[in-house]
Amino acid sequence: MAPRKSVLKLTSVERHYGQGETTLSILKGADFELQSGEIVALVAPSGTGKSTLLHLAGLLEHPDAGEVFVGGRSCNDLPDEQRTSIRRSEIGFVYQFHHLLPEFTAIENIMMPQLIGGLSKKEAKERAAQLLDYMRIGHRAEHRPAELSGGEQQRVAIARAVANAPRVLLADEPTGNLDPKTASYVFDALEALVRQSGLAALIATHNHDLAARMDRRVTIEGGKVVEF
Ligand SMILES: Nc1ncnc2c1ncn2[C@@H]1O[C@H](COP(=O)(O)OP(=O)(O)OP(=O)(O)O)[C@@H](O)[C@H]1O
């Protein structure tokens, strides 16, 4: 097995939102580290800051204090273009709703980030087809999102998120919209993909059965990330 490396690290991270006269402090000195090859569940009550943490980790927002490292590199003070470039090449996102482009087929949706990343059409298509097979939906390659089931749509969304071979997969309730059996099946595919590629994943979920299958479980308490 490849030696583990720190792929994502947040140190003393703070995030506060102004609400009229008052300030809502969501993260208050949160620390978190994710190593290559591990899958960590983020399970916390609604409103405690799961999405906020994922947005900071994914360089979609800046922390008010503290630092975010991706692949060992501090990203706070990098110019926006560089943050965008790191986000595109090193981080994959999956959301509760698939956000696939409706007018494109499954395979085209997976090719898109690779074409943006500079791969040729041929290379992008080959990798997309492999990922579809890996997610066991090769036979749905030419279907548009509306012609796929919820579980199939999420598997395409996961394939798209890893198409550029990122270091980190950040998922915000990726199976939240699915029935328990389908959720379990989609998680199987996601897990196999992470294990096979040495990627790391932080997955926010309310599903305790799925959380129990991950390597570690963390929650947010008093604005800090704690293991449980
Ligand atoms: N841009 C914003 N401006 C003001 N308040 C915000 C903003 N974004 C989030 N919040 C508040 O911060 C808190 C944490 O939000 P966040 O979306 O991170 O929670 P969550 O744990 O992901 O919740 P859920 O499980 O319901 O998705 C919430 O109370 C939310 O209202």
Task: Give the pLDDT mean for 5-11.
Answer: 96
Q: What is the pLDDT of residues 26-54, one digit of tens each?
A: 999 999 999 999 999 999 999 999 999 99
Q: In this structure, is residue 132 part of a structural domain?
A: no
In a domain, 146, yes or no: no
- Would 136 be classed as within a structural domain? no
User: Is residue 108 included in any domain, yes or no?
Assistant: no
Number of residues that this document lists for the chain: 228
For the question of whether the overall pTM of this predicted structure is more than 0.90, the answer is yes
- Domain hosting 58: range is 6-18+25-103+156-227
Q: 């927002």: which residue's tokens?
A: 61
pLDDT band at residue 1 using 50, 70 and 90 as cut-offs: low
When pLDDT is cut at 50, 70 and 90, the band that residue 159 belongs to is very high
pLDDT at 197 over 90: no
The average pLDDT across 60-66 equals 97
Ligand 1 atom 5: the closest Cα is on which residue?
Answer: 17
Residue 121 covered by a domain: no
**34 in Cβ contact with 6 (< 8 Å):** yes
Segment 176-183 shows an average pLDDT of 90
- The structure tokens listed for 14 are 């703070």
Cα–Cα dist 113/199, whole Å: 17
In a domain, residue 49? The reply is yes
Residue 91 included in any domain: yes
Confidence of residue 55 (pLDDT cuts 50, 70, 90): very high
Residue 3 has pLDDT above 80, yes or no: no
Higher pLDDT, residue 98 or 62 = 62
pLDDT of residue 168: 97
Name the β-bridge partners of 172: 204
Instruction: State the total domains in the chain.
Output: 1
How much of the chain, in percent, has pLDDT values that exceed 70?
99
Ligand 1 binding pocket includes 221 (Cβ within 6 Å): no
Ligand 1 proximity of 52 Cβ (cutoff 6 Å) = yes
Q: ipTM of this predicted complex? A: 0.95
Which ligand 1 atom is the nearest neighbour of the CA of 48? 21
Domain holding 55: CATH number?
3.40.50.300
Q: Is residue 126 part of a domain?
A: no
CA dist 173 to 9, 183, 226, Å?
21, 10, 19
